[in-house]
Amino acid sequence: MEKKWWHKSVVYQVYPRSFQDSNGDGIGDLNGLISRLDYIAELGADLIWLCPVYASPNDDNGYDISDYYSIHPEFGSMDDMDRLISEAARRGICIMMDIVANHTSDEHPWFIESRKNKDNPYRDFYVWKDGAEGGPPSSLQSIFSGSAWNYDPLTQQYYLHMFSRKQPDLNWHHPAVRLALYDVMRFWIKKGIKGFRFDVIDLIAKDLEKDIIANGPLLHEYLQEMHREVLEGTEVVTVGETGGADLDQAILYTDPSRKELDMVFAFQHIALDEIPGKQKWDLKTLESSDLKRVLSAWQTGLSEKGWNSLFWSNHDQPRIVSRWGNDGKFRYESATMFAVLLHLMKGTPYIYQGEEIGMTNVKFPELNYYRDIETFNMYKERNAAGHSHDNIMNSIYVKGRDNARTPMQWNTENNAGFTEGVPWIDVNSNFAVINAASDSESNQSIFRFYQKLIQLRKSNDIVIYGDYQLLDSEPEVFAYERIFKDEKWVIICNLSDKTVQSSLPGSLNGELLIHNYSVPYQSQTLHPYEALVYKLQN
Ligand code: TEU
Ligand code: CA
């Protein structure tokens, strides 16, 4: 396997709106982020995935871009952006930009032109269709609820929007669209960014005649074109969000010889608590055996060709300690156990802001405390379909995206040190207990544990390139080995809140590299969420 600089990287994802406000308007911004670069450097991350900071009407918090070439004033200026890039570089940190290429804002000049008339040169930048039988062209549903088609009276046609009405889908089959987006990428590469995260990249090559939305027939051709036109010969790392991708598709995207993307975010493992074929709001309990099966399949499947991205959370997902761990009594143990499980696997780990201090889901008392358009649309839809208020609120508590979007909890000061003004979304009321300052003073610091895991990765090639082997164990125990040259590491994690008598050896002859309990591991007993890593003597 050809070595790449990002094989060794650890990514820290920043949702800038909620990270650090610098001017008291309640909105996190670039200067705020710059003031926290030392914190990210101290953690040991060396790449920041920066969620969109471009000009945007904020219908979907920046995922509706109205100008790819400018910074939204609420985040700062292009000068601030340049300063972010250079200040990060000074600390050995690179910036990965989030490119939303499947759709723009309806306030993007391309769409403003496109909707004017059917002969406009920008008409084909988007997907326009006549209605059928007095209604939309098809029954296609938007991912944010309701029809994916919106009627525009001016030209009496419908345009496609897989997300909100203010996020019209671009038509990638139109060559000028692709060229325009390649220009955007070149502009940012020239500025010195070192990575791109591509939003819903699996949706770009739709074939509407055949009802294909994700993974359209021309998808890989377009990605190869993009690679040729923009990425070839650069050191820029790419990760595509491909929610529905299975392992075979992931290999197609990430096999280096195909020259498409470096990694993808696939959702198979984080969809394990959803009912297949239903919406994400329809819940089932996670079976640990499913988690072992899926993660192991990806570890093995991408071991020769391609590369894994490793993640539990992002700005769309609930917090991992609340979701599959324990956000009360065993918050430290479960946060660190999930960290061990992921960070010793093969691939590039992504840490979502706040995960490194064990931030939890939020439970606001009323709907009007929430901010996310997906949440509001779902509420309306389910309410109209007869679901009870309590039932819907419960789904929001468990799965709503705002769980990940409450402000970063820095300290015990006003608004957790996030802002001196009124935050755009309330701070989680548990900030007096859960915050970065208190965490670092605690003898059970989650941050320091992450730091140690990152150091282990940075100083041991076995973590980057070692082979992966799942070990036989009880269903609630996830244990695996990494093997590299004459070295072997064994990783043991108890996924449950129970003490487990395990069939794995109760004492291991080797060096204990990291452990989230202070009592020694013995007699095959695993405490709730216990996690440990041994380097075995061969
Ligand atoms: O998310 C794509 C996506 O599939 C999500 O809609 C996901 O299914 C959902 O959030 C789960 O609840 C990306 C971005 O990460 C997200 O923030 C954007 O809203 C979306 O694309 C549209 O750009
Ligand atoms: Ca601000």
Ligand nearest to the CA of 419: 2
Confidence check: pLDDT of 192 > 90:
yes
Pairing of β 477-484 and β 500-501: unpaired
Mean pLDDT rounded to a whole number for the chain: 97
Nearest ligand 1 atom to the CA of 163 is: 22
Structure confidence at residue 365 (pLDDT): 96
Mean pLDDT within 274-298: 94
Please state the φ and ψ torsions of residue 173, each to the nearest 5 degrees.
-75, -15
State whether the beta carbon of 17 lies less than 6 angstroms from ligand 1. Answer: no
CB-CB neighbours of 151 under 10 Å: 14
Q: Which atom of ligand 1 is nearest to the CA of 64?
A: 23
Give the number of whichever ligand sits closest to the CA of residue 73: 2
Q: Kindly list the catalytic residues.
A: 199, 241
62 CB-side CA count, 13 A: 23
CA nearest ligand 1 atom 14, residue: 199
Instruction: State which ligand 1 atom lies nearest to the alpha carbon of 102.
Output: 23
Compute, in angstroms, the gap from residue 165 CA to the centroid of ligand 2. Answer: 27
Nearby residues of 57 by Cβ (< 8 Å), 6 or more positions away: 64, 66, 105, 107, 166
Alpha carbon separation from 75 to 81, 187, 352, 404, 481 (Å, rounded)? 9, 19, 19, 19, 44
For the segment 110-122, the average pLDDT, to the nearest whole number, is 98
Please tell me the residue having the least CA distance from ligand 1 atom 2: 200
Cβ atoms of 439 and 468 within 8 Å: the answer is no
Q: How far is the CA of 25 from the centre of ligand 2 (A)?
A: 5
87 three-class SS: helix
Binned at pLDDT 50, 70 and 90, residue 120 comes out as: very high
Q: Is the pLDDT of residue 1 over 90?
A: no
Taking CA atoms only, the protein residue closest to ligand 1 atom 17 is: 316
Residue-wise over 234-264: b if at least 16 C-beta within 10 A, else e?
eebbbbbbbbebebebbbbbbbeebebbbbb
**Alpha carbon distance 268, 282 (integer Å):** 16
Residue 69 pairs in a beta bridge with none
Span 59-82, pLDDT tens digits:
999 999 999 999 999 999 999 999
Say what percent of the chain tops pLDDT 70.
100
Write the DSSP string, 394-442.
Answer: HHHHHH-GGGGTSPP---SSGGGGS-SS--SSPPPGGGGTSSHHHHHHS
| Angle separating helix axes 373-384 and 389-399, nearest 10 degrees | 150
Which ligand 1 atom is at minimum distance from the Cα of 100?
23
Cα–ligand 1 centroid distance for 437 (angstroms): 31
Q: What is the pLDDT of residue 537?
A: 74
**Which atom of ligand 1 has the smallest separation from the CA of 316?**
10
DSSP structural state of residue 364: -
Cross-strand bridge partners of residue 238: 196
User: C-alpha distances in angstroms, 250 versus 260, 297, 303, 349?
Assistant: 11, 12, 12, 17
pLDDT for 524 equals 92
Residues linked to residue 240 through DSSP beta bridges, in sequence order = 198, 264
CA of 164 relative to ligand 1 center, distance in Å: 11
Angle formed at CA 250 by CA 244 and CA 253, multiple of 5 degrees: 115
Q: Burial of 303 by CB count in 10 Å (0-12 exposed, 13-18 middle, 19+ buried)?
A: middle
Helix (H, G, I), strand (E, B) or coil at 277: coil
Mutate to test the pocket of ligand 1, among 63, 215, 376 (most ligand atoms within 8 A of CB): 63
CB 239 within 8 A of CB 261: yes
Ligand 1 proximity of 280 Cβ (cutoff 6 Å): yes
Evaluate if residue 384 carries a pLDDT over 90: yes
Q: What is the pLDDT of residue 502?
A: 93
Tell me which of 13, 15, 161, 199 to substitute to probe ligand 1's pocket, judged by most ligand atoms within 8 Å of the beta carbon: 199
pLDDT of residue 291: 98
Cα torsion 345, 500, 399, 168 to 10°: value is 20
Spatial distance between the Cα atoms of 204 and 214, rounded to a whole number of angstroms? 8
Report whether residue 100 contacts ligand 1, using a CB cutoff of 6 Å: yes
**Is residue 243 within 6 Å of ligand 1 at its C-beta?**
yes
Compute, in angstroms, the gap from residue 24 CA to the centroid of ligand 2: 6
Nearest CA, atom 3, ligand 1: 200
Tell me if 316 CB under 6 Å of ligand 1.
Answer: yes
Determine whether the shortest distance from the Cβ of 200 to ligand 1 is under 6 A.
yes
End-to-end CA distance of the chain: 25
Percentage of the chain exceeding pLDDT 90: 97
- Which tens digit of pLDDT belongs to each residue from 94-112? 999 999 999 999 999 999 9
- Assess whether pLDDT exceeds 90 at residue 508: no
Nearest to 111 by CA among 199, 171, 178: 171
Please check the confidence at residue 538 and state whether its pLDDT lies above 70.
no
Q: How far, in Å, from the CA of 406 to the mean position of ligand 2? A: 15
Which band of pLDDT confidence, cut at 50, 70 and 90, is reported for residue 158? very high
What does DSSP say about strands 195-198 and 467-470: parallel, antiparallel, or unpaired? unpaired
Distance CA 160, CA 163 (A): 9
Distance between CA atoms of 513 and 48, rounded to whole angstroms? Answer: 27
Q: Is the pLDDT of residue 213 over 70?
A: yes
User: Over the stretch 417-442, which tens digit does the pLDDT of each residue have?
Assistant: 999 999 999 999 999 999 999 999 99
Q: State in Å: Cα 316 to ligand 1 middle.
A: 6
249-277 mean pLDDT = 97
